[in-house]
Structure 1
Amino acid sequence: MHKIEQLTMKVAVMQAAPVIMNGPATVTKTVELIGQAAARGAQLIVFPEVFIPAYPRGLSFGFLVGSRTEAGRRDWQRYFDNSVVVPGPETEHIGAAAAEAGVYVTIGVTERDHINRTLYCTLLYFGPDGTLLGKHRKLKPTGSERLIWGEGDGSTLTVIDTPFGRVGGLICWENYMVLARAAMYQQGVRIYLAPTADFREVWQSTMRHIAVEGRCFVLACNQYVEKSMYPDDLEYRSELDSQPEVMCPGGSCIIDPYGDYVAGPLLGEEGMLLADLDLGALTRTALDFDPVGHYDRPDVFQLIVRREGS
């Protein structure tokens, strides 16, 4: 199950802008980008956190402690209505594109639960046959994100088997949750995904640390977003007046198990990072450090992960 069947792997990290608050148009853009990356030989294509229908940076949805506004609720309903039911029509379109290209695809979406009306920050995994292989719901939204998204649970700490080794990851600041990282390492992750909305310089240090700590390739993917991309008719559009024109410059990167950049960081534009990963490095870097093998001390430390759903 853990055997790596291929020695190299071409990956594409898509630093792109969604069509903000427009789910169908962003799905169309996603399908187009999958085709472009596949045409350049990519075998795994990674999209950012909540690419559909966007990371709602700068918006409050009318929330203040102790009060809400009806105008803010209308903005939130627009966000809700353009979110993704899993599985649903949007996942069928993306899966069909993955199948046509014969590639693995991972993409961040705001998931709308098919029963309740709670939204989740979710990472989806598609196989080269178009199958929806799994999903991960963000365990702990950060700061004001908690006004938008509910919390995931241990049942979606997803890792998938591929011919390139096990692929899995965490979303944005979940990567600062030490035990969440340990849970991923414990499952044998080799290609570690980190879709994010964080463009700070210190985030680059985090990504390099995880690559060295996990002895894995890290694929960090962010959006590139300008203020002008937001719809003009949002109820709270004026909240963006104080924001810079480039609201998210990106910072996507690909890092090897030694902690060195293979590609990126990409800043200031939309773009595609392509890289051929030398999968043999996964074994070579384990010579002196293996976080869940010879450098582990299970006689001293134990990790318990509750995987049942809430």
Structure 2
Amino acid sequence: MEMKQNCKVAVVQAGAKLFDTEATVTKTIELIEEAGNKQVDLILFPEAFVGGYPRGLHFDTYVGIRTDSGREDFFRYADSAIEIPGRETEQISEAVKKAGAYVVIGVIEKEKNFRGASLYCTAVIFGPDGKILAKHRKLKPTGSERLVWAEGDGSTLPVVETPFGRIGVLICWENYMPLARAAMYGKGVDLYLAPTADARDGWFASMQHIALEGRCFVLSCNQYTTKSDYPEDIRNRPFFLDLEDELCRGGSCIVSPFGSFIEQPLLGEEKILISELDLSQLTKSRYDFDVIGHYTRNDVFNLTVNEKKQQSVVYIKDEIKDEESRN
């Protein structure tokens, strides 16, 4: 694979329509087309874009108490999740193919042909031919996210080779997990992708730190969300009326391997950030700090990553049955 000396990236800051996957997929396709018209090499979407980030919802869940109305809200949310691969990814795939770019999209994933309630916050990586190259399931949902999302495992920690370097993705507060970052660095990530739902000022400092620590480009991507992105019956609920109209202010940004902002955090609007990256900065920045080269100490430190897929009890039982039938 011939390596490029620069690449053009697009970071999409936009809001998804909660409980309306069809409308969100349509918007996703339009945004891919818009970014693709700029002749970009890579397009990044926010965390939980397709399927939705249920900001402000509590699903009527309290310690020791659940309600029928909360279960109904969860059903609507689970019904908005998508299968990978599935009808929605096929639709997105066609748009990706036309754009001819690598595309990384945050989705809410449900198991294929299964009516369970374990949903995953997942990042899907499409190649420029529209094929799904890999996916990453968020390892640890944060706070109330644990009410609606299950944990991923080490089998979905991919780093993908591209003509402009290796791309890898960690979602939101996974980026605060030192060993998860070390795993990404250990795989030689050049473009570190950080889709998120965190719009606080401290997040931006973390993105600069990761760029300096990993000597990589960091692309952080968040939604810009208002109450208009929610169904009317949600907007009219008492607990929701108390929230500000702007639910998430955005904050998408691009950081160089030297820790400086190429694109400052974007606040208060939907927009696609477009930037041309000089890939020579990767080698230049690693001249005095190469995190997996001359600045590593494998004689002192050792990181083991379990990349085996966790097996469900159902699958284990099926294996036992297969073994019994062979005997």
**TM-score for both structures, normalised by structure 1:** 0.97
1:80 aligns with 2:86: no
The match for 1:44 is 42
The residue type paired with residue 245 of structure 2 is E
Which structure has the larger Rg? 2
Aligned counterparts of 2:279 and 2:235: Cα–Cα separation in 1: 49
The match for 2:324 is none
Does the aligned pair in 2 maintain the 1:61–1:236 contact within 8 Å? no
Q: Deviations over 1:15-71 (max 9, x none)?
A: 001122111110010000000001012110000000012110110011111011111
The match for 2:15 is 17
Aligned counterparts of 1:87 and 1:167: Cα–Cα separation in 2: 21
The residue type paired with residue 192 of structure 1 is Y
Q: CA deviation at 1:238?
A: 2.8
The match for 1:254 is 254
Q: CA deviation at 1:117?
A: 3.2
Aligned identity (percent) is: 55
The residue type paired with residue 105 of structure 1 is V
The match for 2:157 is 157
C-alpha change, 1:236 and 1:176, in structure 2 (3 Å) is farther
The match for 1:172 is 172
Does the aligned pair in 2 maintain the 1:75–1:234 contact within 8 Å? no
Q: Deviations over 1:176-211 (max 9, x none)?
A: 000000000000110000000000000000000000
The match for 2:100 is 102
Does the aligned pair in 2 maintain the 1:75–1:235 contact within 8 Å? no
Does the aligned pair in 2 maintain the 1:75–1:236 contact within 8 Å? no
List alignment gaps of at least 5 residues for structure 2.
Answer: 311-327
Q: Deviations over 1:123-155 (max 9, x none)?
A: 000000000001000000000100010000000
Q: How well do the aligned residues superpose, as a CA RMSD in angstroms?
A: 1.2
Does the aligned pair in 2 maintain the 1:16–1:271 contact within 8 Å? yes
Does the aligned pair in 1 maintain the 2:227–2:235 contact within 8 Å? no
Aligned counterparts of 1:280 and 1:219: Cα–Cα separation in 2: 17
C-alpha change, 1:235 and 1:199, in structure 2 (3 Å) is closer
Q: Secondary structure at the match of 1:285?
A: helix
Aligned counterparts of 1:109 and 1:236: Cα–Cα separation in 2: 26
Q: Secondary structure at the match of 2:266?
A: strand
Aligned counterparts of 1:149 and 1:200: Cα–Cα separation in 2: 22
C-alpha change, 1:4 and 1:142, in structure 2 (3 Å) is farther
Runs of 4+ aligned structure 1 residues displaced above 6 Å come to none
Pairing 1:240-251 to 2, within 5 Å after superposition: 240-251=240-251
The match for 1:121 is 121
The residue type paired with residue 233 of structure 1 is D
Aligned counterparts of 1:235 and 1:81: Cα–Cα separation in 2: 19
**Of 72-81 and 177-186, the range deviating more from structure 2:** 72-81
The match for 2:297 is 297
List alignment gaps of at least 5 residues for structure 1.
Answer: none
Q: CA deviation at 1:6?
A: 0.3
Aligned counterparts of 1:87 and 1:188: Cα–Cα separation in 2: 27
**TM-score for both structures, normalised by structure 2:** 0.92
Q: CA deviation at 1:235?
A: 9.4
Aligned counterparts of 2:41 and 2:163: Cα–Cα separation in 1: 10
The residue type paired with residue 174 of structure 2 is E
Aligned counterparts of 1:222 and 1:248: Cα–Cα separation in 2: 8
Does the aligned pair in 2 maintain the 1:225–1:249 contact within 8 Å? yes
Q: Secondary structure at the match of 2:36?
A: helix
The residue type paired with residue 217 of structure 2 is F
Aligned counterparts of 1:249 and 1:224: Cα–Cα separation in 2: 5
Q: Secondary structure at the match of 2:190?
A: strand
> Number of residue pairs matched?
308
Q: Secondary structure at the match of 1:71?
A: helix
Pairing 1:143-292 to 2, within 5 Å after superposition: 143-234=143-234, 237-292=237-292
Does the aligned pair in 2 maintain the 1:59–1:236 contact within 8 Å? no
